[in-house]
Amino acid sequence: MADDYTDCEVSGIDLSPVQTVFVPPNCTFYVGNVLEGLFFHEDKFDLIQSRAIMAGIPADGWVSYLQEVKRMLKPGGWVQLVEIDPFLKCDDGSLPEDSAMKFYTSVISEVVERKNGCLCAGLGLKQPEFLKEAGFINIKENHKRAPTGWAEGMISSRHHLH
């Protein structure tokens, strides 16, 4: 984003300092926890993108998180939420039900949901409701398939993983 829009100020936030040292001069990274509120003033951003944080926001915390996002947006600003449904699906049926990949994603999702109380399955379908409850308007949904692919060895039954 910072490379494409050099006249804009771009800020990134993560729980840990994992960002690269090679960033454009108009980009700054901060360490912060969105569940604890953020230090940016009100009406700061034109656009906020929230991406791949489903494992860190408890199901009952989405509305308050989005209210914090709304607080930081300028009037007329936009929020873009990008999350994935971690459960693998296959249109042509070539991914066996007992595949290692399906087993792996189901274990990860169960741990995230049980340990953190987070939503994995169906989060994308609930986000419009959360946005509305947080006070957003003009909510638009756009669901896309994301082909991942897999190698023959990765789709073998989990019984053969020993």
Q: Could you state, in order of their start, the residue ranges of all structural domains in the chain?
A: 33-141+150-160
Report the pLDDT value the prediction gives residue 162, as an integer from 0 to 100: 38
Average pLDDT for 78-88:
86
Amino acid at 139: I
Contact 8, 15 (CB under 8 A): no
The average pLDDT across 105-133 equals: 87
In DSSP terms, 47 is beta-bridged to: 78
Q: pLDDT band at residue 101, thresholds of 50, 70 and 90? A: confident
As a whole number, the mean pLDDT across the chain is 85
Asked if residue 33 has pLDDT above 80, the reply is: yes
Distance from chain centroid for Cα 17: 18
Give the predicted TM-score (pTM) of the model.
0.82
pLDDT at 150: 55
